[in-house]
Every structure is written in structure tokens, then in C-alpha cells.
Structure 1
Amino acid sequence: MVTLGASTLAALPENVARPGYDRSRVRAGIAHLSVGNFHRAHQAVYLDQCLALPEQDGWGILGVGVVDSPAERAKAQALQSQDGLYTLSVFPPNGEPACSVIGSIVDYVFAPADPAQAVVRLADRAIRIVSMTITEGGYNIDEKTGAFRLDAPDIVHDLANPEIPRTVFGLIVAALARRRAAGIPPFTVLSCDNLQHNGRIARQAVLAFAGARDQGFADWIGANVSFPSCMVDRITPAVLPADVGRLNALTGVEDQAPVFAEDFIQWVVEDDFCNGRPALEKVGVQFTGDVKGYEQIKLRMLNASHLMLSYPGQVGGYRFVHEAMADPRIMELLRTFMDRDVIPLLQAPADMPLDRYRDILLARFANPAINDQNARLTSDSVSKIPVFLGETIRDCLEQNRDPRRLAFLLAGFVRYLGGVDDKGQAFEPIEPHLEAADQALVQDPDPQAPLRMTMLKPFALEDHPGFVDSFRHHRQAIAERGILPALEALLKD
């Protein structure tokens, strides 16, 4: 195998595409905070294509690691040793995978090891966009009040130690303060997370943090920094240890940090950048004045359907998404959910017909080559459920629509929190934002107690007897018969 690095690009196997540009000429113009698999299979891919265009070599990526964990430290070491290079294998539903080396990440810093240096790099005039993928739960918004949590321990640390920040908000604000003091124009802050109005939420978080330091400085940020919203889409599974060997065998490249994804990819961006942007429209990115319609469709159809399939999938004993999708009961649940509970409530942009999008989604979920894990879809459900299902739940309650499938989803979520599937196999629910009080409600003998969980309080579900009755019914059916027989009964009603 060829060991991956800048000096070995010419020796790559013929089946692996290499960057179509001279990387020695590329300079970082974008800094990306938290360089996860999704970023490397999505935004970095678009930029890799963009760098091959004339006069775009100032738009390479400076990767910035943010989370201090053994896995993130290993990834930082891998990317640094490989000169920022990694392989991407794209698997279509049918046919052979396409393999390439992505070269758009031209530098990488691990902020937990040297936060002061990370601030210096973000303050560099060359950086004109700071993008981020920090997950739906990463914006530090209090679920009860909707306000930015200034009392979170890492935020308290960053306010007291502004030059050695731990959080993305501390990094962004410290860098903007340096730029303002030096007369350097600010950068655009671009959230790429699965949140509706993600630009507005990023703006709220950054301004709240900056205001706690200096309200005048926060006002300057509000007047000068752009926070465009965007919608991102590509199914990118977690890379398990076994996947590393499998992907390297496929490419013939010794890569410490390979990624893989489906062949579908989409990026819709609000065209509001305060300090320039790359010509991404030339490589398939859609720029628009309003991304709201695209955001709603993605969150309420794709992301919500991921949750709808993941609980019966995981609790029913399926570990992989395509296995769950091969169960006709789960396939019918998703189609019915989208047809009856989601599509009638959406206003679609003209270039995104919903029936066609639904069929594309079902085919993407069923792709057996992806090996996407139900555990990835269920992880951090406490953050995902309000974001992905919130508006659908509100519309259902306000319009007195059929609540059964939404109640079934929440009953499945509660069952999933037990950590044992219907075959008796244990699994670990990954719920970093599940509070002890909410866990106690899951264990409460009152079957409707979980409807009082913090994340569900804004919906006041206990004020809706029809929803409560359906939720109680599904909890009992799942407990007595198992989640898949309970689903089968739901589909027959």
C-alpha cells in the first residue's frame, strides 16, 4: 500500500483520483472548527473541486480541532502526519465505489493543545470565513429559556481566560477582537449544522458570549460580521476500526483517517458573506437569498425520518440502517410518516418536488453499501428531537392532526433509553445532554411521565389528551409485544 502524504500523491493507485490542482500554491482562506467526518465528506469536497478552478487557490481550509478527546487527538495526529490529506470513498446504491484523495485541508491545528495559537491563526487576515460543524447540541442554548447559557463551565472559563479559550465561541470572539484591534476586516461565521436558521442561532450564541465580555464589542460584531444560514446534506457514517481496514483495502492507500459516504450531496447557502467567498456555485453549491424552505424540507423529512426509523430499528435488533429499511414495516412507517404527517405541511421550493425527494430519501436510507449505524442516528436524541421534529409536533397539535406516529416515535425513544433491544442485546444510548431529572422521568412508573422531559416541555404534550392516550398506548404495546409488533399494529389501524 502507498502511505498517504504530499510526497506520495504521484504514486497513488490508478483507481484513486488525486487533487486536480497544485497544493503548494493553495493558502487557507477558510478555517473550519471541529473537523469531523461529515465536514470532510461534504464542505471539504466542494472546496476540493473549487480549488481546481482558476483564481481560487486562496480558499484552502485550515482545520481546527476543538474537542479534547483521545479520538480527536488521534485524528489530529493522523491529519498532520498526512499533510491534511485523506481518502474519501463514495458508495452509490448500485455500482462500484469512487475513491479519491481530498486535498482542500492544507493546514491543521489542535486547539486544546495550544488555544492561543489557534486564536492567532483565526485572526490572520487570510482567513475570511470561519465555518463549523459542532452538532445540533453544540450551540449552548438553554432548552427551557432559549437563551445562551453563560453559566456553562467552559463558557465561564472562556470569559475569565479570553486568550486561551476552550469553546468555539471563545475562539471566534477572541479572534474577532484581535482583528478589530488590528484593523483587519472580520470573517464570516458559517454554521453548517443541522439546525433550522443555523446562521441566526450561531449569531445569537456569538453575540451573547461577546456581550458578556463587552457589549460595545458585541454591537460591532452584530454590525460587521455575517452569519449566513445553510442547509447541508450527505449521509456520512461513523468510521469504525473495521472500516479503516476495509476502506484502505479498497483504495490501496494506507490512510489513518479515511471517510466514506453516499453519492448524494447537497449544499444550499444564504449568499451573505462580509469578506468574500469562494466560487462554490461553479461546483454545484446552490446560493439563495432565503434557505428556509430547503432547511424545513431537510430537517422535517430527512432528519426526522432518520429518528423515526432509528428507534424501531435499534430496539428491534437492527444495528445498521439498511437492515432496518429492509423490514417492510419500517419502510411503510417512513412513507406514511412523510406522506401524512410532513409533506402536507411543507411549502417546497420549485426545484425540490417533495414526492421525488421522498423517494430519493427512501432509496438513500436503504443503500446497503453505506453501512450507516442506527446508533449514529439515535445519538444525542435529546438535542435532535426538538430540532428535527419540533415544528411537525406543533403543527400536529395546533391542527388537531393524527398524533399516532409521532407518539410512537416518542414511545420508541423512551424504550431506546433503556439500552436493551427486544432480543435482549445491550447497547449504550449516547445521550450527553440527558439530565438526571429527565432520566428519572423515564424510570417513573407513571407511563406518561416522560412527556414532561425538559426537551418536550415547550410542546406541553400533557395538555393534549389524544397525544397522551396514543403515547401511553404505544408504551404499553412496546413493553408487552416488542417494538416491531407494536409498529405492525400501528400500521394496521
Structure 2
Amino acid sequence: MDSLSPAVARPGYDFARQRAGIVHFGIGAFHRAHQAVYTDDAMAAGDGDWRIIGVSLRSADVAEQLNPQDGLFTLTERSSDRTVTRLIGSVASVIVAPQDPQAVIEAIASPDTHIISFTVTEKGYVRRPDGSLDRANRAIVSDASAAGPPQTIYGFVAAGLARRKAAGLPGLTLLSCDNLADNGARLARLMSDYLTDTDPALAEWFARTCRCPGTMIDRIVPAVIDDDRQRVAASVGLDDRGAVITEPFSQWVIEDDFAGPRPRWETVGAQLVPNVGHYEAAKLRMLNGAHSALAYLGLARGHEFVHQAIADPELAGLIETLMRSEAAPTLPPDSGIDLGAYADALIARFANSALAHRLIQIAMDGSQKIPQRWLEPLAINQQAGRSTPATLQALAAWIQHVSGAARPVDDPMAAQLADLWASHGADGIAAALFGTGGVFQASWTPSAESAQALQAHLDAARN
């Protein structure tokens, strides 16, 4: 710390004296630029003992970045007119779960722990296309049978909660910070289903003592590459392997329903509300829906970054239509959100050329994202008799993307989607995905008019 540039702001508290009160699964760049920052601010404002023990379910990369740095890393906010860097002290350490599964369980079972939080992406919840727990998944089967160390969030949380129950400790708050519609209730349902299958007594204890508040999270956090790290090193005077880069904007809306103590996040910018549903739906359908559209349509037009795609006049008009005319009308008029101003702000954020947000990063795991970002609003609009040309054009671009014809597909359903393309071809793929009996039928089945429009876009992509 003494060797850092004086321009880098330091934590406003003695982080080395703080105990850990949060266990976080999925300690990637987004968590470090969002929840870890709010928690750092809360401790600087006087809250104690809320440092974070990070858990990586697979890769050791973040542990190898942060543990040699005592959990410290820099956060850089970039906009077109200013760059600000600060040191974050809220992360205590990172455990690589496959290397030390018992340490993860012990952290959950610790009397100091009050919150388990998650940014494991949509696929980390191991769900079927209809949103239910995928009980046939190999890792879920292994965890449920106790054939070895836990592999999923459910196996680890269940093992930790079982120790807490046996020790007479209180339940915990499970805080999903992922882009899932109704994420708190969904996590509660999935966790309850897993426990009911594996330990009914623990399932009853979980329902009685634990809470799963809903959340809405919003901050654009691009993946950091070597060039970014070199720029940060030149700025701060030290090599920071855990550096994260983000935009100045940040939002966190949390349902005020905790099982026990929590940081006073509301004093440092978070919003504690009775229900996050309206905020969550607006963000999923307008921001995330537009991001996914920019990703698939932008990649198809040769763009690499979000700011390049939104500068494309044809794409900019389509995104305006998607947000204002197709996503916004699916939200309740009494949401209390100025949706026009929200769309204006999103366009400005997308255009931030100081933030190199790669479209291919957004395009990952599309099969897990499109149900809440596109298919749910498509179903609502269809029921209301509203047309959705922009969303259908984006959906066609996703269908074309997962064919794998232009680039490798990074998606947990990549093999299944490739098989569907091989067996049905361009003329039948849309029906295989969304028609009666299709993979995503539970989320949306197109009308004859929508099916025709979707096929027309696919035909145009071949010509």
C-alpha cells in the first residue's frame, strides 16, 4: 500500500482487523466491482466484521490473483471525461472449492458468517429450461448422493447449513445477485427443492430460519485483459493482477428481508425496498435485453465492442425500438420508474467508449439469459396484441449465433443447440426451439405471425 500512487484512494478503515461475515460464491470481476465495493464503503462508514470470503467453484484464477495480494485489488471507474482508481479492502481471501471443499463448508458454518451471496451467472443455478432444478445434472446427482465433495452451490450450502443446525447456530441470508427474474424467490425454491430431496429435516429448518431476499444489480463491468492491467499498473505504480475496471454508474436494490445482521448498505447507496420486482424487470428487459440484442446483432455486423454497436445507426434505431416500444410496455405503469429517462441513461452508458465492453462476453450463455430478457416480454406483448419486430430480429440473430457457423458457441446448451441445428436446419430450427413441444415452449410459443417474422429474419441471414 505504501508503494501505491498517492492518487489511489485507500480503504477508510483497518481491513486487517475485520472478521469475515459474508461468504460469496462466484467472486469474479462483477462482484468485485459491485457488492465488494458497497461492503467496503459500509465498513468505511463504521460497520465492522463484514469482510468477504470468496469461493470459486471451478477456476483457481481469482484465488491466484487475489490471495498473494492479501485480497486487495484496485477498482478503476472510467468515463469519457475522467478516470478514478481506489483500493478495495473488503475481500479477505478466496477459496478454490475443488481444492479445499472443507474450507468452504467451514466458512459457511462459522458463527461469524451471516450472509451467503452469489454471482454464479444463470447457469450456476443448474436449472432446466422451465426454471426447475435440473435433478438429472451430473453434479446435482453427485451432490445429492454424497458421492464425493460438493460441486454445486446447493451441495456446499446444504453441508454448511447442516453444521450450523447441528451446532445450534442461526440460519443465514442467501443473497442472489444474479440476473434472474425474481431471483430471491427462485433461489429459495431451488434450495428448498434440493434440501427436500436430500434432507427433509434440514429443508424445514431452512424454511424456518433462512431468508432469500430479491435483488436487482446494475453495473457494466467488462472483462479485464492484459492491456488493461498494464494501463492500471502504469497508473497506480504496482502490478495488480486482480484489477477491475467499470463505469461510474452503480445500482443495487435489495428486498429488506434478512435472517440476521447485515451491513448498512443503504447508507452507502444501496436501496432497501419491500419489493424489487419492478426494478428487476426493468433492468432485465431493458438493459440486459438491449445488451443481448447488441451482442448478437453487433457481432453479426462485425462489431467488437458495445460502444461500436450502439454507434451503428441501424442497430441504434433497433435498440431504441426494443427498449421503448417493446420492453417498456411490458412493465406496470405504476412501477414508479421513469422508463423514458431510464432508456436515455442506458443509451448514454452503452456509448461510453472509455469502457471496452466486448460483445462476445455478453453473448456467452445465451440459452440461460433469453427466457427472462426476451421470451417473457415476447409472451406479454403477444398476449396484449403488440408487435415485437426488434426483439424477433434479435432472437433470430441469437438462433444464427448458436449454429456455430461464424464462431465457437460458449453456452451450457451448445451441444444440444448444435444437434437441433443439424437435425432441423434453418427451416425448422425456430420451431424446434420455440414451437409447440420446443425447448423453450414454457417461456414463449410464437403466434403464426411471429413465427413467420422470425423465419423471415433467419432466411435473410442466409442471403
Normalising by structure 2, report the TM-score. Answer: 0.95
Q: Contact 1:261–1:370 (CA<8 Å) still a contact in 2? A: yes
1:358 to 330, 333, 343: 343
Q: Contact 1:228–1:269 (CA<8 Å) still a contact in 2? A: yes
Amino acid at match of 2:420: L
CA distance in 2, matches of 1:365, 1:62: 32
Pair 429,247 (structure 1): closer, same or farther in 2 beyond 3 Å = farther
Pair 113,348 (structure 1): closer, same or farther in 2 beyond 3 Å = farther
User: Cα distance, 1:433 vs. partner?
Assistant: 2.3
Pair 235,446 (structure 1): closer, same or farther in 2 beyond 3 Å = closer
Gaps of 5+ in 2: none
Amino acid at match of 2:89: G
SS in 2 for 1:221: helix
1:73 aligns with 2:64: no
1:23 aligns with 2:23: no
Match of 1:290 in 2: 275
SS in 2 for 1:232: strand
Amino acid at match of 2:298: G
CA distance in 2, matches of 1:162, 1:33: 22
- The sequence identity of aligned pairs, in percent, is 35
What CA deviation, in whole Å up to 9, does each residue of 1:236-293 have, x standing for no partner? 0111233222332233221112110111100000011111111111101000010001
Match of 1:108 in 2: 94
2:135 to 141, 145, 150: 150
Q: Contact 1:461–1:467 (CA<8 Å) still a contact in 2? A: no
Match of 1:452 in 2: 432
User: Cα distance, 1:300 vs. partner?
Assistant: 0.8
Q: Contact 2:229–2:239 (CA<8 Å) still a contact in 1? A: no
CA distance in 2, matches of 1:51, 1:176: 26
1:473 to 450, 456, 461: 456
Match of 1:6 in 2: none
User: Cα distance, 1:395 vs. partner?
Assistant: 1.1
Match of 2:418 in 1: 439
1:61 aligns with 2:41: no
1:315 aligns with 2:294: no
SS in 2 for 1:260: strand
User: Cα distance, 1:445 vs. partner?
Assistant: 3.4
What CA deviation, in whole Å up to 9, does each residue of 1:351-393 have, x standing for no partner? 5311111000001111101110000111111111002113211
CA distance in 2, matches of 1:246, 1:419: 34
- Backbone CA RMSD of aligned residues: 1.7
User: Cα distance, 1:105 vs. partner?
Assistant: 0.3
Amino acid at match of 2:56: G
Listed as ranges, the matches of 1:83-102 within 5 Å are: 83-92=70-79, 94-102=80-88
CA distance in 1, matches of 2:455, 2:45: 58
Q: Contact 1:442–1:449 (CA<8 Å) still a contact in 2? A: yes
Listed as ranges, the matches of 1:222-261 within 5 Å are: 222-261=207-246
Amino acid at match of 2:452: D
CA distance in 1, matches of 2:410, 2:126: 18
Q: Contact 2:299–2:360 (CA<8 Å) still a contact in 1? A: yes
CA distance in 2, matches of 1:235, 1:370: 9
User: Cα distance, 1:157 vs. partner?
Assistant: 1.5
Amino acid at match of 1:49: D
Q: Contact 2:430–2:454 (CA<8 Å) still a contact in 1? A: no
CA distance in 2, matches of 1:177, 1:460: 39
Q: Which piece of structure 1 moves more, 109-118 or 223-232?
A: 109-118
What CA deviation, in whole Å up to 9, does each residue of 1:57-80 have, x standing for no partner? 11111111212xxxx313212211
Pair 166,225 (structure 1): closer, same or farther in 2 beyond 3 Å = same
1:40 aligns with 2:32: yes
Q: Which piece of structure 1 moves more, 45-54 or 227-236?
A: 45-54
Amino acid at match of 2:156: L
Q: Contact 2:36–2:90 (CA<8 Å) still a contact in 1? A: yes
CA distance in 1, matches of 2:366, 2:394: 11
SS in 2 for 1:359: helix
| Number of equivalences | 458
Q: Contact 1:162–1:174 (CA<8 Å) still a contact in 2? A: no
Pair 102,455 (structure 1): closer, same or farther in 2 beyond 3 Å = farther
CA distance in 2, matches of 1:434, 1:323: 27
CA distance in 1, matches of 2:128, 2:401: 24
SS in 2 for 1:347: coil
User: Cα distance, 1:341 vs. partner?
Assistant: 0.7
Q: Contact 2:57–2:98 (CA<8 Å) still a contact in 1? A: yes
SS in 2 for 1:385: helix
Amino acid at match of 1:152: N
CA distance in 2, matches of 1:460, 1:323: 31
SS in 1 for 2:440: helix
Q: Contact 1:47–1:280 (CA<8 Å) still a contact in 2? A: yes
Q: Contact 2:3–2:237 (CA<8 Å) still a contact in 1? A: no
1:324 aligns with 2:309: yes
User: Cα distance, 1:11 vs. partner?
Assistant: 2.5
Match of 2:3 in 1: 11
1:135 aligns with 2:121: yes
CA distance in 2, matches of 1:396, 1:43: 34
Amino acid at match of 1:468: A
Amino acid at match of 1:342: A
Amino acid at match of 2:118: M
What CA deviation, in whole Å up to 9, does each residue of 1:175-202 have, x standing for no partner? 0100000001111100000011101111
Listed as ranges, the matches of 1:404-415 within 5 Å are: 404-415=389-400
Q: Contact 1:403–1:470 (CA<8 Å) still a contact in 2? A: no
Listed as ranges, the matches of 1:114-133 within 5 Å are: 114-133=100-119
Q: Which piece of structure 1 moves more, 389-398 or 370-379?
A: 389-398
User: Cα distance, 1:155 vs. partner?
Assistant: 1.4
Match of 1:216 in 2: 201
User: Cα distance, 1:450 vs. partner?
Assistant: 2.6
Q: Contact 2:217–2:251 (CA<8 Å) still a contact in 1? A: yes
User: Cα distance, 1:468 vs. partner?
Assistant: 1.2
Q: Contact 1:158–1:164 (CA<8 Å) still a contact in 2? A: yes
CA distance in 2, matches of 1:51, 1:210: 34
Amino acid at match of 2:440: L
Gaps of 5+ in 1: 1-8, 421-425, 481-493
Match of 1:387 in 2: 372
SS in 1 for 2:196: helix
